[in-house]
Chain A
Amino acid sequence: MIEFHSVTKRFPDGTLAVDDFSLALPSHKTTVFVGTSGSGKTTLLRMINRMVDPTSGSIDIDGADIGTLEPVQLRRGIGYVMQNSGLLPHRRVVDNVATVPMLRGTPKRKAREEALVLLDTVGLDRSLANRYPNQLSGGQQQRVGVARGLAVNPNILLMDEPFGAVDPIVRAELQQELLRLQRELGKTVVFVTHDIDEAFLLGDRVVILRTGGKVAQVGTPAEILANPIDEFVATFVGADRGKRSLHVENRGDGDIVVDGTGRLAGVLVGSRSPTASSTVGTGESKAGPRGPGAPAQGGDSR
């Protein structure tokens, strides 16, 4: 369990990144911090491994105040995955994954063997182990980054917009991989993103932040979608624009499902009759009759 107690962070230039933030992050769950630039989400994440120290307030991990712990030792016990992977370009994939265990004193041989197993875990072929990061695609580098984050078998995994720099197809794939990993490993994951769809897809709990590190709303994706607490949240999750409301249109040769912005969301299979459109209204709850094989649009289909 990670607990923030009245944490405030003001940077030397006067920017108030986080303002009196208090929250408990449950263990073995994924908590997603989501917000626009300047909402302090990355600062909050980096305070957990003391890459940033709070100006006031304290953070406890399993009841221990991390302010009293030595930063380097603390970081070696926490997995960290960042955007653009942050791999060491002069080290091979396998050595990148083995870096932290070796810092903690694991013999090189053993660390490398365990690194190979981790490559399996994150779905990378072992033949890539002796490549250098520059020789990998963005998605593969990001998988190596996740493997490195898992290398010390940490209880806590911090992920700072890890899928922000890969293309949408690879991102969707990596998101599914993370969901699978999380089902298998049950880590306490803290995930930062500016993508609300990603937040709703991955988060057991979602923390929506507004500028200046203030909490706008905390809850499960369903709670937030059903009851946006105010205008800001409603706008952020896109409810007010009807972005998530689906309706059916007839285009002559069949019924298609269209979302609020007019984009194709799927095809209605099994009802060729033109009258079908009159029986399906608008609204999230009516998204049910989508046919199998309809291309789901990420979080939109929840």
Chain B
Amino acid sequence: MSFLIDTLAWLSDPANWVGAGGIPTRLAQHLLFTLVTLVIAAAIAVPIGFLIGHTGRGRGFAVATSGAFRAIPTLGLLTLVALWVGIGLNAPYVALTVLAIPPILAGAYTGFEAVDRKVIDAARAVGMSEAQIVLKVELPLGLPLLIGGLRSATLQVVATATLAAYVADFGLGRYLFAGLRTRDYGEMLGGSILVILLAIVLEGVFALVQKLVVPRGVTAGLPTDIPGGSSRSRPVMESTIEEGNSNVHST
């Protein structure tokens, strides 16, 4: 129980909420670090994923590579890179980018692959260039799965970004490492709670974004699109009757 009291005491201590080592500063650092890592990882993984999804080539290679990437222990990679490039933020950026690439890559190419081939064929046949097919057809239709990939990458990075404090005085992980060293479990638990809260907030944001990016036409008319309960059956009924009517006129 004393853990919890210590934690509450640590979290409510005004001294921990100000200055360079204060919670707001470290929270902002943590968030910034997560964001930059995701941007780097996305800049690498999204174009590759789109290329694989668009051409249908290199899928096996991508699956194998992401599998291998996933198997790399982040702490081990972090230590290795840190030994090579030295103490600082470079090593965590590299290690966490490697962590973030597989889910984003998978999201990007599965998103593209999920688009109906007939729709793409029709888009090409009416005169869309390859770039227009990517931007106007595959991207909007594949976006929900891409965002899903980003979402899972974000969760992993925001939690694992605590490791950045292993080689740099940076982010919320600092409280974990400092608390461990001084056996201040209140500080450790407090830091962990902050990371968890941040992860939950980001998860909520992504859940919302993922819902928003599903094109309306894709959900329209599907059984899931039942705002009023019975709106599904109505358009179907209407259209049936219209077909019948025009049939009468034309004969």
Chains A and B belong together in one complex? yes
Partner of B242, one of A51, A104, A132, A140: A140
Chain B residues with Cβ under 8 A from A75's Cβ?
124-127
Which residues of A lie under 8 Å from residue B243 when comparing CB positions? 137, 139-140, 170, 173
Q: How long is the Cα–Cα vector from A77 to B247 in the complex, in angstroms?
A: 32
A123 at the interface (CB under 8 A from B): yes
A269 → B minimal CB distance (Å): 18
Q: What is the CA–CA distance of A180 and B215 in the complex, to the nearest angstrom?
A: 36
CB of A131 within 8 A of CB of B235, answer yes
CA distance A91 to B119 in the complex (A): 12
Interface contacts (Cβ under 8 Å), in number, total 104
- The yes or no answer to A84 lying at the interface (CB within 8 A) is yes
* Contact across chains for A90 and B141 when beta carbons are under 8 A apart: yes
Tell me if A261 counts as interface (CB < 8 A to partner B).
Answer: no
Across the interface, name the chain B residue whose C-beta is closest to A136. Answer: B239
Q: Which residues of A contact B128 (CB under 8 A)?
A: 72, 99, 103
Shortest Cβ gap from B129 to chain A (Å): 5
**B145 → A minimal CB distance (Å):** 14
| List of A residues within 8 angstroms of B235 by Cβ | 131, 135
**Residues 105-122 of chain B, each 1 if its beta carbon lies under 8 Å from chain A, else 0:** 000000000001011011
B81 at the interface (CB under 8 A from A): no
User: Is A148 on the interface with B (CB-CB < 8 A)?
Assistant: yes
Considering the complex, give the chain A residue whose CB is closest to the CB of B235: A135
Complex Cα spacing A85 to B218, Å: 15
Q: Give the chain A neighbours of B251 by CB distance below 8 A.
A: 176
**Is B208's beta carbon under 8 Å from chain A?**
no
List chain A residues, Cβ under 8 A from B123.
Answer: 86, 88
State whether A89 touches B215 (Cβ < 8 A): yes
* Contact A173:B118 (CB < 8 A) given known A51-B124, A89-B141, A140-B239: no
Contact A76 B217 (CB under 8 A): no
User: Cβ of B250 and Cβ of A132 under 8 Å apart?
Assistant: no
On chain B, the residues within 8 Å of A91 by CB distance are 217
Give bound CA distance, A38 to B242, whole Å: 36
Question: Which among B215, B246, B250 is the interface contact of A90 at CB below 8 angstroms?
Answer: B215
Note all chain A residues with C-beta closer than 8 A to B222: 134
Q: Is B2 an interface residue (CB 8 A)?
A: no
Q: Of A90, A92, A139, which contacts B218 at CB under 8 A?
A: A90
On whether the beta carbons of B217 and A82 are closer than 8 Å, the reply is: no
Point out which of B125, B126, B247, B250 has the most chain A C-beta atoms below 10 A from its C-beta: B126
Can you name the residue of chain A whose Cβ is closest to the Cβ of B244? A169
* In the complex, B216 has a CB within 8 A of chain A: yes
**Chain B CB within 8 A of A19 CB:** no
Can you name the residue of chain B whose Cβ is closest to the Cβ of A84?
B118
Digitize A262-291: 1 where CB-to-B-CB distance is under 8 Å, 0 elsewhere: 000000000000000000000000000000
Which residues of the other chain, A, contact B127 by a CB distance below 8 angstroms? Answer: 72-77, 100, 103-104
Contact present for B240 and A137 (CB under 8 Å):
yes
Give bound CA distance, A85 to B119, whole Å. 9
Whole-angstrom distance between the Cβ of A43 and the nearest chain B Cβ:
13
A104 contacts across to B, CB distance below 8 A: 127
Cα distance A51–B236 when bound, in Å?
A: 34
Please tell me if the beta carbons of A89 and B118 are within 8 angstroms of each other in the complex: no
B233 to chain A, nearest CB (A): 12
Which B residues touch A140, using CB under 8 A? 239, 242-243
Instruction: Establish whether residues B119 and A86, one from each chain, have CB atoms under 8 Å apart when the complex forms.
Output: yes
**Bound complex: CA of A136 vs CA of B243, how far in Å?**
11
B221 within 8 A of A: yes
- Docked pose: A99 CA to B119 CA in angstroms: 13
Q: Considering only CB atoms, which chain B residue lies closest to A50 in the complex? A: B125
A277 to chain B minimum Cβ distance, whole angstroms, is 29
Task: State A148–B242 Cα separation when bound (angstroms).
Answer: 20
Residues of chain A lying within 8 A (CB to CB) of residue B116: 89
Set A49, A90, A123, A173: member contacting B125, Cβ < 8 A: A49
Interface digits, B218-243 against A, CB 8 Å rule (1 contact, 0 not)?
10111000000000000110011011
Query: Does A20 make an interface contact (CB < 8 A)?
Result: no
Q: Shortest beta-carbon distance, B212 to chain A, in Å?
A: 13
In-complex Cβ contact of B217 among A77, A90, A103, A170 (8 A) = A90
- A134-B220 CB under 8 A given contacts A72-B128, A88-B119: yes
CB distance B220 to A135 under 8 Å? Answer: yes
Q: In the bound complex, do residue A86 and residue B221 qualify as a contact, i.e. CB atoms below 8 Å apart?
A: no
How far, in whole Å, are A132 and B137 apart by their CA atoms in the complex? Answer: 15
B residues contacting A by CB (< 8 A) are: 116, 118-119, 121-129, 132, 136-137, 140-141, 215-218, 220-222, 235-236, 239-240, 242-243, 246-247, 250-251
A residues engaging B (CB < 8 A)? 46, 49, 51, 72-77, 80, 82, 84-92, 99-100, 103-104, 123, 125, 131-137, 139-140, 148-149, 169-170, 173, 176-177, 180
- The contact sample of 26 A-B pairs, CB cut-off 8 A, is A77-B127, A80-B125, A82-B122, A85-B122, A86-B118, A88-B122, A88-B217, A89-B141, A89-B215, A90-B216, A90-B218, A91-B217, A92-B217, A103-B128, A131-B235, A132-B220, A132-B221, A134-B217, A134-B218, A134-B220, A137-B236, A140-B243, A149-B126, A170-B247, A173-B246, A173-B250
Closest 3 CB pairs of A and B: A86-B122, A90-B215, A76-B127
